[in-house]
Amino acid sequence: MKKALALILALVMCLSLSAVAFADGETGSVYYLNFKPEADEAWQALAAAYTEETGVPVTVVTAASNTYEETLMSEISKSNPPTLFQVNGPVGLANWKDYCLDLADADITGELTSQDFALSEDGAVYGIGYVIESYGIIVNKTLLEQAGYTIDDIQSFDDLKKVAEDITARKDELGFAAFSSAGMDASSDWRFKTHLANLPIYFEYQDKGISSTDAIEGTYLDNYKNIFDLYINNSTCDPAELSGKTGDDSRNEFLAGEAVFFQNGSWEYTNLTADGAFTDDDLAMIPIYIGVGDEANQGLCTGCENYWCVNAEADEADIQATLDFLYWLVTSETGTSALANDMGFVIPFKGAVESPNVFVKQDSEMTAAGKTPVSWNFTTMPSEQWKNDLGSALTAYAAGTGDWDAVVSAFVDGWATEYQLANG
Amino acid sequence: MEKARKSRDRVISCILAVLSVAWIYPVFMILANSFKQERSITTGGAFQLPTAETFAGFDNFREALTSQGFLTAFWYSLVITVMSVVLILVCCSMCAWFITRVKAWYSKALYFLFVLSMVVPFQMVMFTLSSTADRLKLSNPYTICIIYLGFGAGLAVFMFCGFVKSIPIEVEEASMIDGCNPIQTFFHVVLPILKPTLISVGILETMWLWNDYLLPYLVLDRTKGYMTIPILIQYFRGSYGKVSMGPMMASIMLNLIPIIIVYIFCQKHIIKGVAAGAVKG
Amino acid sequence: MEKTIKKFWPVFVIPTFAAFCIGFIWPFLQGLYLSFCRFTTINKATWTGVQNYLFTFTDSSFLHAFWFTALFTIVSTVCINLAAFAIALALTRNIKGTNIFRSVFFMPNLIGGIVLGYIWNILLNCVLTLLGKPLLSLHAPYGFIGLVILMCWQQIGYMMIIYIAGIQSIPTDYLEAARIDGASERQILWKIKIPNVMPSITICLFLSLTNGFKLFDQNLALTGGDPSHSTEMLALNIYNTFYARSGPQWKGYGQAKAVLFCILVIVISLVQLRATRSKEVQQ
């Protein structure tokens, strides 16, 4: 009896310990660590569809927002690591390059509409861009008409300024403001410290004919100041109150018809049209004019910062399975329509299905009309720290507790120091 | 004198009443907001009650229950907590009895190690523990209890040792003389005496396990969709800074409801258990 | 009898000990070893000696986190214990509703750190917005105050229970004798109650000190270290070094930080234990 009990206890321990998976078969499997929580459901469905079609198991795990790097770091050192993950542009790639398989000869690379969407370094392709997004100023056309304008009236920074200031002057009479509040917390400050800051960087790169730099000059920082001033002085609330607003507040103001303009991107389409809040006819996206370059031909800011990478350290069979899965995603009807319709992605592949997203349609119309899209250069920003410092300086400036010089210093001097730290 | 004391008591009662309202208010605020429509939950408006216009009924709760797999997470949380607590109580009380009753160098060494493990912060072992768990396939909700037994043993053994010391050894000797072997003695004689301690250790461990975040976050095998409630709550944030406030509030509420129900029914035990545990600890 | 028990050691010790090895001893030793290495996974570690430790001492974010944590721990320990003791005194006067008050004050302890963090994040941000002040995650002093408030809300109830148990265990003869001798309420408090609950005080101090130092969940959910890591406490700093930074050198740094953190907590506990012992001898 006593020995038996001892044995049973010991056995239970051993059994649970030795329940080592014998099940790992020869056929490979795919494990995708997804970046976008809002697309999680669609990915799960797509994975199930693929498994049903081919019998290859596909697992999709989604990292909670702002924890992608942590989750990837913890998952990749496990015995069953992700075979497919994503990086954010060249700066993100630098951290994960050791894990990235060279995709130069992969089938999926041949499906890209342009090699610009491949993330390559020294002739090797490490990442494949999988979603093109655009951002600009989202306009509530109905409100704009109430104020006596149409979007054709806004063709340059001066026009924008005139309209915005006119709306502000008549704010009480109209019952709405020009811009939704520029929330400066982490859920919203990237709109200014990253996306808006892209414009002065873009124009400086254009002037010099470069695509990255170790030291930014800040030639167009005055224009950056002008547009930011315009945002904060013509907003739904006093500039000093901006630091008390979040991204959700900003969106809710726009949804409630309290503001005409809302700087954000094509990804907001589903949020804005959900529950019939807006129809396609109510919305438009216009370029962010900052008064530089050929404004008549400026397009939306369009680019890609999410790149798929294949884990080079996964099993051979898993790698093959992953490559097959990727090819299927961008060529099969199920794959492309799920990406376009369920996730709302515009994919840079030949087999892409047209997206129902009104902002995306506008982007292609503008490009077709000969306007030049502004490329995404914020992927070359030296580090997260740089963005955060710029964000803090902007917040202080908006609240009136800091001056613009601090922003300039965070922008220019910060760039040099952070670049040194990251690459030195 | 008596009168002065009475009026002072009344003042104290009032202060305490105000304080307890303040203590409950945060929970109440979440409850109020969980009935609001998504769009009406603003940063500055969290204190407003839902009005006829902003009232969303049970939509948020429906969303919270269906969208992110709340029920599965709840089930896993429950499985992990119950299995680990039972395992910890049985194994650690046995171990503690042995350590206290057998006076040898190794029982002293063990005791020292257990006490040490009590103060070591989790960050010290987070990486190595999660990779060990991964390699030994302890990364699912049904086997993670072994990890918890290992990592939570310190506190439990320490507390049990304190109580076992106060049990008169004569009772055990009598039972042994009657022909019981140590196992029978332990289960028939020692364990019943330890019952109050089992309850307090059990309560302390349950409070820890049910709410633990980092250990399951790092250890559980995500590819199988294993999740606990504290992990789940993070999933209401989107990649472009969008937070689904309504469902998030509702899921916080759903997390609080079972806790509050258990608390209402067992508060005597819980409070006694905490007090007893602390006095011995 | 001892001999008979000894024979049964496999039944009594092995289950716990085996799990203890897996769950603590082995990871602990491995962690100690890895703190001297450069590694990304355990199998790919190269020995680098004390380099990680040298870096740690020059890492300003770690030093900042240390001072932030120390300050937080001191402030929250003082606030929690003063408030908890005051409430415990009030609740041992046999006033009406004592049980309800006690239950209410203890309730937040049952709520987990992550959930608590979110609740207070929403509440405090609302207060700050109404006052026209920047949000928690934009202004470090508010983040600090927010953390203290949160900790107080959570921990006061727990400490209160311990103090109540301490006060109730004072023999009533003492108090009655003092009252008959004409001692004032204040004298009773300082001369009888406080010296007699000294063991409870040391336990509470110990608990709130270690809780403060090891705080992680609440920190993560309330401020997440924003703005730019200035409200990051030690545990979160280690976690971020380990998982949020990619690059082979960071894990070694993180592990070295963890070892230092571990030593720090052990030292604090030892000092505290000493203090407890000496107090107990006096009585």
Listed residue (C196, A88, C102) closest to B23, CA to CA: C102
How close does chain A come to C17, measured CA to CA in Å?
11
Asked if the bond preceding A239 is cis, omega within 30° of 0, the reply is no
pTM of the model: 0.85
In C93-122, the residues whose Cβ lies within 8 Å of chain A are none
Q: How far is CA A400 from CA A276, A354, A389, A414, C131, in A?
A: 38, 45, 17, 21, 16
Backbone angles phi, psi at A404, to 5 degrees: -65, -30
Let me know whether B187 and B59 are in one domain. Answer: no
CATH number for the domain spanning C157: value is 1.10.3720.10
- Residues C15-72 have pLDDT tens digits of 999 999 999 999 999 999 999 998 877 777 888 888 889 988 888 889 999 999 999 9
pLDDT in tens, B89-143: 999 999 999 998 888 888 899 999 998 888 899 999 998 998 888 888 888 899 9
- Taking the CA of residue A95 and the nearest CA in chain C, the distance in Å comes to 5
Average pLDDT for residues A354-366, to the nearest whole number? 88
Q: Is the model more confident about C188 or about C226? A: C188
C166-217: per-residue pLDDT in tens? 888 888 888 888 888 888 888 888 888 888 888 888 888 888 888 899 999 9
pLDDT of A80: 86
* C-beta separation of C161 from C104 below 8 A: no
Give yes or no for residue A23 having a pLDDT over 50.
no
pLDDT at A294: 87
Share of chain C above pLDDT 70, in %: 96
A-chain residues near C21 (CB < 8 A) = none
**Taking the domains of chain A in order of start, what are their residue ranges?**
27-132+304-350, 135-300+363-423
Backbone angles phi, psi at A401, to 5 degrees: -95, -10
Instruction: Tell me if A27-132+304-350 shares its fold with A135-300+363-423.
Output: yes
Q: Is the pLDDT of residue C283 over 50?
A: no
Q: Is the CB of residue A137 less than 8 Å from the CB of residue A180?
A: no
Chains that touch C (3 or more CB pairs under 8 A): A, B
Q: For residue C129, tell me if it sits in a domain.
A: yes
Question: In the prediction, which pLDDT does B224 show?
Answer: 82
- A17 pLDDT exceeds 60? no
Q: How confident is the model at residue A15 (pLDDT cuts 50, 70, 90)?
A: very low
Which among C228, C243, C248 is the nearest to A389, CB-wise?
Answer: C228
Where among B203, B226, B249 does a domain terminate? Answer: B226
CA distance to partner chain A, nearest, from residue C129 (Å): 5
Residue C57 domain-assigned (yes or no): no
CATH number of residue B203's parent domain: 1.10.3720.10
Two structure tokens written together for C223: 């401020």
Q: In DSSP terms, which residues pair with B183 in a beta bridge?
A: none
Q: Which positions in chain B touch A79 (Cβ < 8 Å)?
A: 134-135
Mean pLDDT of C224-251: 83
Name the residue facing B153 among C2, C16, C220 (closest C-beta): C16
Q: Choose the closest CB to B239 out of A21, A37, A41.
A: A37
**CB nearest B183 (choices: C11, C27, C100):** C11
Q: Is residue C53 part of a domain?
A: no
B67 near A CB under 8 A: yes
Across the range C215-220, mean pLDDT stands at 92
Helix (H) or strand (E) segment spanning residue A374: strand A372-374
pLDDT at B6: 81
Cβ separation B267–C161 shorter than 8 A: no
Q: Is A64 helix (H, G, I), strand (E, B) or coil?
A: coil
Q: Which of C20, C130, C246, C253 has the most A C-beta neighbours within 10 Å, making it the best mutation to test the interface with A? A: C246
User: Does the residue C40 lie in any domain?
Assistant: no
> B107 and B169, same structural domain?
yes
Interface test with B, best of A43, A138, A191, A252 (most B CBs within 10 A): A252
pLDDT in tens, A133-179: 899 999 999 999 999 999 899 999 999 999 999 999 998 899 999 99
Q: Which chain C positions have a beta carbon within 8 Å of B45's beta carbon?
A: 126
- Residues of chain A found within 8 Å of residue B183, distances taken between Cβ atoms: 2, 5
C269 and B CB contact within 8 Å: yes
Rounded CA-CA distance B87/B127 in Å is 24
pLDDT recorded at residue A34: 92
The C-alpha R_g of chain A, in whole angstroms, comes to 24
Residues B36 and B123 both lie in one domain: no
pLDDT category at A247 given cuts 50, 70, 90 is: confident
C 119-178 residues inside an 8 A Cβ radius of B: 119-120, 122-123, 125-126, 129-130, 135, 153, 158, 161-162, 164-166
Candidates B184, B222, B248: best to mutate against A (most CBs of A within 10 A) is: B222
List B residues 252-271 in contact with C (Cβ-Cβ < 8 A): 252, 255-256, 259-260, 262-263, 267, 270-271
Cβ–Cβ < 8 Å for A330, A353 = no
Question: Who among C14, C228, C242 is closest to A388 (CB)?
Answer: C228
Q: Which residues of B touch A20 (CB under 8 A)?
A: 136-137
Q: Which pLDDT does position A411 carry in this prediction?
A: 94
Domain boundary (B211, B226, B241) is at B226
CB spacing of A36 vs B239 below 8 angstroms = yes
Q: Is residue C226 part of a domain?
A: yes
Q: In chain C, what percentage of residues exceed pLDDT 90? A: 36
How many separate domains does chain B show?
Answer: 2
Other C-beta atoms within 10 Å of A371: how many? 17
- Give domain A135-300+363-423's CATH number out of 3.40.190.10, 3.40.50.2300, 1.20.1290.10, 3.40.50.300: 3.40.190.10
The b/e string for C27-49 (b: 16+ C-beta within 10 A; e otherwise) is bbebbbebbbbbbbebeebeeee
pLDDT per residue as tens digits for the range A46-89: 999 999 999 999 999 988 877 888 888 888 888 889 999 999 88
Q: Which residues contact residue A128 at a Cβ distance below 8 angstroms, ignoring those fewer than 6 apart? A: A103, A108, A109, A112, A117, A118, A119, A307, A308, A309, A326
Range of the domain at B173: 70-226
Alpha helices in chain C (DSSP H): 2-7, 9-20, 26-34, 51-58, 60-91, 98-106, 113-130, 140-168, 172-180, 185-187, 194-196, 198-214, 217-222, 234-239, 248-282
Q: Closest to A184 (Cβ–Cβ): which among C138, C244, C247?
A: C138
Residue C281 reports pLDDT greater than 80:
no
**Which of residues B226, B247, B264 is at a domain's end?**
B226
A123 in the Ramachandran plot: left (φ > 0), alpha (ψ -120 to 50) or beta?
left
- Interface with C, mutate which of B29, B30, B119 (most C CBs under 10 A): B119
Checking if the pLDDT of B83 tops 90, the result is yes
Residue from the list C18, C19, C40 with its beta carbon closest to the beta carbon of A77: C40
Give the range of the structural domain holding residue C109, as residue numbers without chain letter. Answer: 62-282
For residue A265, the cross-strand partners are A135
pLDDT number for residue A270: 83
pLDDT single digits (tens) C93-107 = 888 888 889 989 998
The reported pLDDT for the residue numbered B278 is 65
pLDDT band at A10 (very low <50, low <70, confident <90, very high): low
Is the domain of B130 the same as that of B193? yes
Residues B124 and B150 in one domain: yes
Contacting partners of chain B (3+ CB pairs under 8 A): A, C
**What is the percent of chain B with per-residue pLDDT over 90, rounded to a whole number?**
22
* d(CA A288, nearest CA chain C) in Å: 26
Question: What are the tens digits of pLDDT across the range A97-131?
Answer: 888 999 988 899 989 988 888 988 888 899 999 99
Considering only A402-406, B2-6, B186-190, which range has the smallest mean pLDDT?
B2-6
Q: Is the distance from CB of B132 to CB of C27 less than 8 angstroms?
A: yes
**Could you say which of 3.40.50.720, 3.30.310.40, 3.30.70.270, 3.40.190.10 is the CATH number of the domain covering A27-132+304-350?**
3.40.190.10
Distance from the Cα of C40 to chain A's closest Cα (Å) equals 7
The whole-angstrom separation of Cα A42 and Cα C205 is 51
What residue type is assigned to position B265 of the chain? F
Q: What is the pLDDT of residues B235-257, one digit of tens each?
A: 887 766 677 788 888 888 888 88
Domain match, B269 and B190 both: no
Same-domain status, B85 and B176: yes
User: What's the pLDDT at C160?
Assistant: 93
